[in-house]
Structure 1
Amino acid sequence: MRSTALYILALILLGCSGKKEEHLTAFSQPTVEIVSNVTHSVAGDAISLVFKAEIDIDNFKLHIKNAFGSVLLSPELSEKENMVFHIPKNYTRVAGPCRWELLMDGHMVKQGKFDIATNAPKATYIESYFGPRSVTAGYNDYSMLTVAPTDAFDNPLDDGTKVTVKYQFQDNIDEVEIETESFFAFYNVRSTLKSGRILVTAECNGTTSKELATIVYPNNATNFSISSASAHNYADGNQIITFTSDIIKDEYGNIVTNGTLVTFVIKTDQDAYLYTIGTTINGIAEAKTLHPDKAVEWEIQAFVTGAAESNTTSFTFNAAIKDYPVHFSKGNRNIDIGPFESFMKQLIPDGLLVQLDIYDMDDVFISSKKTTTKNGVCNIFLGEYFLAEGKYKLKINAAGITKEFIKNIDGDTVE
């Protein structure tokens, strides 16, 4: 039993010593010379690295790495029995450092790098961006032109490359020269005092960019004046009154943009407020509204929200209806009101509001009824289901005229 254990231990020690010897086997460094070394190149040029070795070339690989990526290349045999590695075009077209390692059986034998410069003489392309595409008049706003010139292989040109920027407004053409930094160049084109269109372009190495533009819109509106006009000043509830502004401009004299919203606020002599709106066309805003149906005085003022306001103008409406008849029948339950005649004794347009308020004899409000005129007259019927028999105070209001009656409501007449 003891002899068997000693035998197994001997076999284990023998195996371990064999693995140790295999692991400690040293890599034999081959003799390799660089026949054709490249340190600088231009994007797009063909690049080949040539090496001379005294052993079979099939054992060698060349590892290439740059901004495009990395690849493992196999050698070719030249006429002089040298190893030749041809760098793929995808790698030679990318500007910047390119690193290489010569490997034999996975071990690095030699390493180095070469730099690829941009190929601006072959061709230059310009990527240009301009924005925002609209600014407001004045010197506080601007649009930025950003230019990224590249060579034929889309490599950004070197820092310090000169770019000429030209911009035109009305009769003026300005030119400025800038330089690229961190692969691009930019220039702020300031807004002008006058509204219009600014055209911008850039040039680099004889190549020009496309034409870009920004629109200079008028600045905020300044205070303005308004006026009111109508065919007559009678409160007939039918005619239209028109409010008109003068030409609204900004502080630099530019006419405000078409479509600028103007709100006309109307204050009555009873401290009630109405409003109507208009939008500018060629700087002028116009708004319309109906005449009131009773005598009243209006004060009108206009606003461009958050920017400007107008003067205050007034318009006085005279009563178009001086009086109207009221006729009671059917136990005072049927009330005929009218005809209503306007300022030329003509019947008023349909739609005049007439309101009846009902009170008891202690002046406590009970109910109300509303109706509108048609063909100059209207009718209100107080059915027994609506109002019981009794004595009531009736107030009729129409066209700003209030009439008061005390009536006995009786009978069971149903309309």
Structure 2
Amino acid sequence: MRVKILMILSLVLLGCSSKEEEQPKETNTPNTTFITSKNTSIAGEAITLAFNTDQPNANYKLQVKNAYGNVLLNPKNSTDKNITFNIPKNFTRIAGPFRWKLLSNGETLHNGKHSITTNAPKATYVESYFGPRSVTAGRNDFSMLTISPTDAYDNPVDDGTEVTVKYQFLENIDEQKITTESFIAWYNVASTLKSGRILVTSECNGTTSKELATIVYPANAVNFNISSSSAHNFADGNQIVTFTSDIIKDEFGNVVTNGTLVTFVIKNEDNSYLYTIGTTINGIAEAKTLHPDKAASWEIQAFVTGAAESNTTEFEFKAAIKDYPVHFSKGNRNIDIGPFESFMKQLIPDGLLLKLEVYDTEGNFIESKITTTKSGVCNIFLGEYFLPDGEYLFKINAAGITKEFTKSINGDTVK
């Protein structure tokens, strides 16, 4: 029994001694004071934060944090009572606040904020943007000039910094003063009534930007007039008729841009339409087309799509070919047409269209052939594979003249 009591007392004493050993040791927190008087500086200036301490050899760290990141610094100098930290250049050159904490063994001893202002007096750089680079005349359009002035370290200058905008057109040079807001300044340069080039530039703190430009193009065309001309008015299918506009302008008197597309629409007596196109050079559009191959009456009108239209002009074509002979041979299977003679009894140019239509005696359509003239004549041969023997109605049309023949095809006997 006595032995058991001694063993229990020994265990109790051991437990008490182990608890005493587990108790944490007391730490001595350094007594520090922030002694740097300035809490603002200019971008690019060296920044040093200093503290007074009763334990200069303690494990001190300075945490510095701004919008771009953070860093943990070791003290650069220590004396009997002071410790100092040099802020890195990549922090001192960025305008805006940064925050700091003095740490010792993970414990925050002090914290604060330091503000950095832009360094515009050292140097100012001006970035400018201008667009769109083309506008239309008329005061309803504009190009925006955007200016972004920065200091030597690419920090935006302070809001309210004055910027001078200058712009030139023809003999006029205008000037406007604006101020920065939210890092930028901007100005709308209105288009002019006349076409041309507007030059703009800007200046801030004695630094000028590069020269920028916008082109003022003419506005939409207004209605205009056209005319037509040709060497003669005979419908020979060979000569060229020319359609010409007068100088096409916008509502402000500006000549439309070179290359403006003008469509000339032609309506004939059958209410059929054809068209030809031209583009403007110095405001004048010109288009050409061939004469028809038969008498015709044309009405011509021109359009600048979605913008303007011209007057309507007329052109009358007289028949150049009055008649032509037709000769059947070889059992009426061979047909020689021509010669075709024009208005001065000359042979017509190659390429006149001729069409032959074949009908039975009851007027039912059977076949057709199309050919063109060569050396003033054309020839059609109706082989047995194309048309068997029998009686047929032939209609021949060329130069607007239609001729009809009823012929019996029977071998190669001429009838």
TM-score of the alignment, normalized to the shorter chain, above 0.5: yes
**Residue 40 (structure 1) aligns with:** 40
* Match in the other structure for 1:392: 392
Whole-Å separation in 1 of the counterparts to 2:369 and 2:381: 9
Runs of 4+ in 1 over 4 A off after TM superposition: 13-22, 25-28, 78-81
1:248-267 counterparts in 2 under 5 A? 248-267=248-267
3-state DSSP class of the match of 1:343?
Answer: coil
CA 1:269 to 1:10, structure 2 compared with 1: closer, same or farther past 3 Å? farther
Tell me by how many angstroms 1:27 deviates.
6.0
Contact 1:142/1:189 (<8 A) preserved = yes
User: How many angstroms apart in 2 are the aligned matches of 1:375 and 1:19?
Assistant: 129
Cα distance per residue 1:47-67 (max 9 Å; x no partner): 001112222445010000113
Partner of 1:117: 117
- Write the distance in 2 (CA, Å) between the matches of 1:307 and 1:19: 99
* Residue aligned with 1:99, SS: strand
Amino acid at match of 1:339: P
Q: What's the counterpart of residue 357 of structure 1? A: 357
Q: Is the partner of 2:35 in helix, strand or coil?
A: strand
Whole-Å separation in 1 of the counterparts to 2:30 and 2:60: 11
Match status 1:165 vs 2:196: no
Q: Which residue of 1 aligns with 2:92?
A: 92
For residues 16 and 160 of structure 1, do their structure 2 counterparts lie closer, same or farther at Cα, with a shift above 3 Å needed? farther
Q: What SS does structure 1 have at the residue aligned with 2:275?
A: strand
Q: What does 1:141-180 align with in structure 2 at a 5 Å threshold?
A: 141-180=141-180
Structure 1 distance, partners of 2:340, 2:240, is 20
Q: Scaled by the length of structure 2, what TM-score is found?
A: 0.93
The alignment status of 1:305 with 2:305, answered yes or no, reads yes
Q: Which amino acid aligns with 1:119?
A: N
Once the two structures are superposed, what CA deviation does each residue of 1:15-71 show, in whole Å capped at 9, x if it has no partner? Answer: 99789855xx77643200122243110000000011122224450100001133211
Give the equivalent residue in structure 1 for 2:403: 403
Work out the CA distance in 2 between the residues paired with 1:10 and 1:383. 137
Q: Identify unmatched segments of 5+ residues in structure 2.
A: none
1:142-221 equivalent positions in 2, closer than 5 A: 142-221=142-221
Equivalent residues of 2:43, 2:93 under 8 A apart: yes
Supply the RMSD in Å over aligned alpha carbons: 2.2
Partner of 2:271: 271
Asked whether the 8 Å contact 1:37–1:49 carries over to 2, the reply is no
Moved more, 63-72 or 251-260: 63-72
Cα gap change, 1:57 to 1:287, in 2 (>3 Å): farther
3-state SS of the aligned residue for 1:331? coil
Cα distance change of structure 1 residues 71 and 325 upon mapping to structure 2, 3 Å threshold? same
Flag the 1:399–1:157 CA change in 2: closer, same or farther, 3 A: same
1:343 aligns with 2:343: yes
Q: Is the 8 A contact 1:57 1:75 kept in 2?
A: no
The 8 Å contact of residues 350 and 374 in structure 2, kept in 1 or not, is answered as yes
Change (3 A) 1:346 1:104: same
Quote the Cα distance in structure 2 between the aligned partners of 1:41 and 1:52.
21
Q: Match for 1:157: what amino acid?
A: V
Q: Structure 2: which amino acid aligns with 1:255?
A: V
Q: Any conservation in 2 of the 1:236–1:321 contact (CA below 8 Å)?
A: yes
Give the whole-Å Cα distance in 2 for the aligned partners of 1:382 and 1:16.
131
Contact residue 67 and residue 94 of structure 1 kept, 8 A: no
Percent identity, aligned pairs only? 70
Q: 1:375 to 1:15 in 2, by over 3 A?
A: farther
Provide the C-alpha distance between the structure 1 equivalents of 2:311 and 2:22, rounded to a whole number of angstroms: 104
Residue 411 of structure 1 aligns to a residue in which SS? Answer: coil
Instruction: Tell me by how many angstroms 1:79 deviates.
Output: 5.3
Change (3 A) 1:379 1:105: same
> In the superposition, relative to structure 1, how do residues 18 and 361 fare at CA in structure 2: closer, same or farther (>3 Å)?
farther
- 1 CA distance for matches of 2:177 and 2:214? 20
| Counterpart residue type for residue 88 of structure 2 | P
CA distance in 2, matches of 1:101, 1:284: 77
Q: Distance in 1 between matches of 2:36 and 2:362?
A: 122
Q: Which amino acid aligns with 2:240?
A: I
> Which region of structure 1 is more displaced relative to structure 2, 140-149 or 30-39?
30-39
- Residue aligned with 1:91, SS: helix
How many corresponding residue pairs? 405
